[in-house]
């Protein structure tokens, strides 16, 4: 049993805590920090997890997860530098920020892993990419792999790919939610009750995802299997191509990647 402290009680911090509890991690082995008392009380009441001040969290944590906004990292690292134990493994979930920033600001030799999960941790279906810093051992990386493996799937990538990962899977759930929202609204515009449109689309999305995962087929193969020449699906796909949907999606993901790069540049000096 590893004592884990999550610094930051925002959506991602809460998602990880919730996912770890659902995976069987005892509440007494978890704690978190949060600067807003009302938010701290919400999490404590909901999950039964201890809320501690930073010094208390660093004193008990074997694995310390930083889950704050990038703009809040610099002052946090200033506080951590004087209280972090040398053996503590640090995991950053901060979009765009490289391990070098944490290694530079924390005690010499601190082991830092960069992790980019997504909010599907809440249902145990996260996609997390890990990149080790220069002081991380194989055993430590395995440990972080196991922690995030309790809330979904894990891959290991070179840190140079983390900005693209952030754009693809870190932000990825939002793209699917956006698409589902648009499809539900389209159903309503066609005269369908909203609840029925929602049920149809959500189940279709779930089924499509399972087909991709379980068949192992390329998306093109699966798409062509339901696209009859001159049929309804063919007409819909032609309209999507005419409107430049594919190009718009590629541009959106590139914009997310660029923003991740900007964050690294802005806060990693």
- Tell me the average pLDDT across 90-100: 95
Minimum mean pLDDT range among 25-34, 117-126, 169-178: 117-126
CATH value of 172-262 in 1.10.3730.10, 3.30.70.141, 3.90.180.10, 3.40.50.10300: 1.10.3730.10
Residue 1 has pLDDT above 80, yes or no: no
Minimum mean pLDDT range among 73-77, 158-162, 237-241: 73-77
Show the DSSP H helices in the chain as ranges.
11-22, 37-47, 54-60, 73-80, 99-105, 138-149, 162-165, 172-189, 194-215, 219-225, 232-242, 245-267
Minimum mean pLDDT range among 85-89, 197-201, 250-254: 85-89
Distance CA 89, CA 141 (A): 10
4-163: CATH class: alpha beta
Strand partners, 155: 129
pLDDT value for 159: 97
Q: Which contacts qualify for 121-126: CB closer than 8 Å, 24 or more apart? A: 121/12, 121/15, 121/16, 121/18, 121/19, 121/151, 121/152, 122/15, 122/18, 122/19, 124/19, 124/22, 124/23, 124/150, 124/151, 124/152, 125/152, 125/153, 126/15, 126/19, 126/151, 126/152, 126/153
- Tell me the average pLDDT across 152-170: 97
Q: Structural domain boundaries of the chain? A: 4-163, 172-262
Residue 113 has pLDDT above 80, yes or no: yes
Q: pLDDT tier at 160 (50, 70, 90 boundaries)?
A: very high
């Amino acid at each position: 049993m590893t004592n884990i402290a999550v610094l930051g009680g925002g959506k991602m911090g809460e998602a990880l805590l919730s996912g770890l509890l659902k995976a069987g991690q005892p509440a007494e082995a978890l704690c978190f920090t949060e600067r807003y008392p009302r938010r701290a009380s919400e999490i404590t009441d909901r999950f039964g997890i201890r809320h501690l001040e930073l010094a208390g969290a660093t004193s008990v944590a074997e694995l310390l997860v930083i889950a704050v906004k990038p703009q809040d990292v610099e002052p946090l690292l200033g506080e951590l530098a004087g209280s972090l134990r040398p053996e503590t493994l640090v995991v950053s979930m901060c979009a765009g920020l490289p391990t070098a920033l944490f290694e530079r600001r924390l005690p010499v030799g601190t082991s830092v892993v960069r992790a980019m999960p997504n909010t599907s941790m809440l249902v145990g279906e996260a996609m997390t990419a890990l990149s080790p810093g220069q002081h991380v051992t194989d055993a430590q990386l395995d440990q972080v792999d196991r922690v995030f493996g309790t809330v979904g799937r894990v891959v290991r990538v070179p840190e140079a790919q983390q900005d693209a990962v952030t754009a693809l899977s870190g932000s990825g759930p939002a793209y699917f939610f956006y698409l589902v929202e648009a499809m539900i609204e389209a159903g309503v515009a066609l005269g369908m009750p909203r609840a029925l449109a929602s049920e149809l689309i959500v189940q279709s999305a779930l089924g499509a995802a399972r087909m991709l995962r379980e068949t192992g087929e390329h998306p093109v193969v699966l798409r062509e299997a339901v696209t009859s020449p001159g049929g309804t699906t063919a007409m819909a796909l032609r309209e999507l191509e005419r409107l430049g949907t594919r190009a718009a999606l590629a541009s959106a993901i590139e914009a997310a990647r660029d923003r991740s790069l900007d964050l690294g540049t802005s806060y990693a000096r």
